[in-house]
Chain A
Amino acid sequence: MTFKEIQKLARAEWDSLYYGEIPLILVGTATCGRAAGALAVVEAFEKEIVRRKAAARVIQVGCMGLCYTEPLVTIIKPKSFRVCYKNITPDLVPRLVEGYILGDDPCLELALGTLAGGNGEAISIPELSRFEKEPRLIMRRCGYINPEDIKHYVASGGYSSLVRALQMPAREIISQLKRSGLRGMGGAGFPTGEKWELCQKAKGKPKYVICNADEGDPGAFMDRVVLESDPHQVLEGMIIAGYALGSSQGYIYIRAEYPLAIKRLKIALDQAQEYGFLGKNILGTVFSFYIELESGAGAFVSGEATALMRAIEGKRSIPRARPPHSVEAGLWGKPTLLNNVKTFVFVPLIIARGADWFSTIGTERSKGTAIFALAGKITNTGLVEVPMGTTLRELIFDIGGGIRQGKLFKGIQIGGPSGGCLPASLLETPVDFDSLSKAGAMMGSGGLIVMDEDNCMVDTARFFLDFTQKESCGKCTTCRIGTKQMLDVLEDIVAGRGKIEDMDLLVELGEDIRDGSLCGLGRTASNPVLTTIRYFHDEYEAHILEKRCPALVCKELIAYYIIPEKCEKGCEHCVLNCPVKAISSDERRLKIIDQTKCTKCGTCLEVCPAEYNAVVKLSPPTLVPMKEG
């Protein structure tokens, strides 16, 4: 089949499905949707349609990034509104089928909003004001097309950039990328066009193209969502790279913890091959390109370029000194181009719409959009895609909806274990590569964790250091031993054994690790500690000088206490539920916690009825009246 014929076939199918006579039900079944019960919803729809003999089709789509609304269902009804429904459970399905599939009642009480776009333009929900700030590029089809059907991708414009690229000289593709200003989306921000040019000019054959999908930050999942929702755009970018660089072999290195992304990628690879976009003589040209999937085995350091290449070679994933750079001597010592998932996604877009268009989006030195994974104490958890230069305040309050339960905003942690913690005073910082580095954080993985008054910054720093310390590959002494020393000092501080000079020691160690380590993991490992010391100095001092944890988190520095005046004497919830039998009733039936037995699990606080609210946390523990000690 020629590309024109494939396109015609795909469009015919697409039109009959999305613009046909029969209602279409889209259910988001990416990993996050599944965790919220989306597969049961799919099943419920299929059963109900049969039971009611309704004419409707159900297809599984990816994720729109609105995690807080999962399971998310969209109903496309001919000659009527396309409506998105939030938090749909199987017991709501009969209502939707009765209301909007069979009848004309759009069930507004369950609706999130209407769906706009989808035919070329990015999808959006105009009722949600966040979409005004989210001109989505990477996620423009996510949650709308069926990721397991290549025809949906082709019908919505997919692979036409490949067709165009195959008619362009390689240097023209690279010069377009250079002019666009695109920078590596993996976090470090190296200019993409320049990287491609270096690799294209490098001597040595064969050359390799690698897509880094080893998303290791324990709080970022945008690459997973892209691969689960719209995988072909990544393949298209890689195939164009193969053509521009004169490479015929690509690899996708993906975390084994992402089984659904792996499954959907495999399907995408098979279909791309079947339709002639991949494999021998692509679209009838002399160019051939193959892609293999390699699944990671659970090492954070494998996300580092040289370490990742070793893992593909079947070796321990340990980074090496550069130069030589991978573009000259990478996989098996051959010139290798390695880019992040999102970087490859931008390539077909730039080919289709031009470098000039792309360079109008974003800031002077950071072009395009960036995706962040909003999590933590934020109302609207999920993914956001905003132009570079959007401020943190817009991200957290305008799009993210602010802090849950009216709590007080304390800070954000951006960029995962390599990033930093920023306080409220830096909310006007624009998100772009340079502004974030200047503040001591990093674009990094794109994880953005929002913290409120109940989160302890010292504990957060300890958490990240614990992670990097465990994940250090051990090659560089400063990283192997330095992170352990820093962690020991932090463990002391959160346990109330800290000394005031520890803070200087942490800064000194942190700077040594940064200067003395080879790879990004070591060079950035101390960022969470250095930034919390810089911006949340007072919390460290409270832990060290007053043995007090202001957020009431650090176990050694808090005690649980039952306020006698508030305790309802007839109620025994805490006594019965305490797993270590540390709570007893005295002769007046007042509940008393035996502090020597208490493991501080928090169960008593959880079970104490809200109307009494008698259990509190105190810090320092010496605040508990002596008679109970």
Chain B
Amino acid sequence: MAELKERLQRLLTEEKRDKRHLISLLQEIQQEFSYLPREVMLEIAWFLGVSPSTVYSVTTFFNQFRFTPVGKHPIRICLGTACHLAGGKLVLETVERELDIKVGGVTADGQFGLERVACIGCCALAPVMTINGDVYSRLTPLKMEEVLTLLKSGGESERK
């Protein structure tokens, strides 16, 4: 807890003490902690002089904010238009089945998290996903299984 406070204090600088910086503060904090812990949201409300419900209303409005930690390997499957038409949903279902998690969930061992995103702008390579920031392209259920098997065994997929 003390450590959490210390990390937070570094981000809550004086020039940010204005209601209008609420969203950018939340973004920076999520970057630091990978999610928005409850105590942190309360702390921001106090820092900016707004009610906790104001902070909560903003965080629940935008898709970017999350209230639980992401897995060690966050799997982000693109379901933009091109990826949808190229079978992105089948890829998503493969992950759900293989890891036994749903979108937004994290595996019990904390290794994998699953999220869907709307378009990362690589439509020519659809369907795509990112894991730890690396883009994997032209996926199929079979290819997805291979990637997961490799990641589970601790290796990086050679064919990204």
Residue of A295, A413, A579 touching B94 (CB-CB under 8 A): A579
Residue of B58, B119, B135 touching A218 (CB-CB under 8 A): B119
Question: In whole angstroms, what is the CA distance A67 to B137 when docked?
Answer: 13
For residue A460, CB closer than 8 A to chain B, the reply is yes
Binds B, one of A313-321, A335-343, A557-565, A586-594: A313-321
Min CB–CB distance B116 → chain A (angstroms): 10
For residue A256, CB closer than 8 A to chain B, the reply is yes
Cβ contact within 8 Å between A579 and B22: no
Cβ contact within 8 Å between A577 and B82: no
For residue A294, CB closer than 8 A to chain B, the reply is yes
Residues from 5 to 55 in B contacting A, C-beta threshold 8 Å: 19-24, 26-27
Q: Could you mark each residue 49-88 of chain A with 1 if its beta carbon is under 8 Å from any beta carbon of chain B, else 0?
A: 0000000000000000001101000000000000000000
B61: A residues at CB distance < 8 A? 299, 316-317, 473
Residue of B58, B82, B93, B142 touching A599 (CB-CB under 8 A): B93
Q: Could you mark each residue 93-113 of chain A with 1 if its beta carbon is under 8 Å from any beta carbon of chain B, else 0?
A: 000000000000000000000
Cβ contact within 8 Å between A314 and B121: no
For residue A479, CB closer than 8 A to chain B, the reply is no
Question: In whole angstroms, what is the CA distance A318 to B141 when docked?
Answer: 38
Residues from 80 to 137 in B contacting A, C-beta threshold 8 Å: 80-82, 84-85, 87, 90, 93-94, 97-98, 117-126, 128, 135, 137
B141: A residues at CB distance < 8 A? 579, 601-603, 606
Residues from 50 to 67 in B contacting A, C-beta threshold 8 Å: 57-58, 61-65
For residue A402, CB closer than 8 A to chain B, the reply is no
Min CB–CB distance B93 → chain A (angstroms): 6
Residue of A314, A317, A375, A382 touching B81 (CB-CB under 8 A): A375
Residue of B63, B82, B137, B145 touching A375 (CB-CB under 8 A): B82
B118: A residues at CB distance < 8 A? 216, 218, 300, 467
Among residues of B, the one whose C-beta sits closest to the C-beta of A34 is B135
Cβ contact within 8 Å between B128 and A606: no
Among residues of A, the one whose C-beta sits closest to the C-beta of B133 is A259
For residue B147, CB closer than 8 A to chain A, the reply is no
Instruction: Using A219-B81, A316-B58 as known contacts, say yes or no to A602 and B87 having CB atoms under 8 A apart.
Output: yes
Cβ contact within 8 Å between B90 and A602: yes
Cβ contact within 8 Å between B58 and A315: yes
Question: In whole angstroms, what is the CA distance A212 to B126 when docked?
Answer: 26
For residue A493, CB closer than 8 A to chain B, the reply is no
Instruction: Using A219-B80, A314-B22, A603-B141 as known contacts, say yes or no to A460 and B119 having CB atoms under 8 A apart.
Output: no
Residue of B20, B84, B98, B142 touching A463 (CB-CB under 8 A): B84
For residue A210, CB closer than 8 A to chain B, the reply is no
Instruction: Using A314-B20, A579-B94 as known contacts, say yes or no to A219 and B27 having CB atoms under 8 A apart.
Output: no
B70: A residues at CB distance < 8 A? none
For residue A519, CB closer than 8 A to chain B, the reply is no
Cβ contact within 8 Å between A313 and B20: yes
- Residues of chain A touching chain B, judged by Cβ–Cβ distance below 8 Å, are 31-32, 34-37, 67-68, 70, 216-221, 224, 256-258, 294-300, 311-317, 373, 375-377, 381-382, 413, 416, 447, 449, 451, 455, 460, 463-464, 467, 473, 577, 579-580, 599, 601-603, 606-607
Chain A to chain B contacts (Cβ below 8 Å), 13 pairs: A31-B121, A32-B121, A257-B117, A298-B64, A299-B62, A314-B23, A317-B62, A382-B124, A579-B141, A579-B145, A599-B97, A601-B94, A603-B141
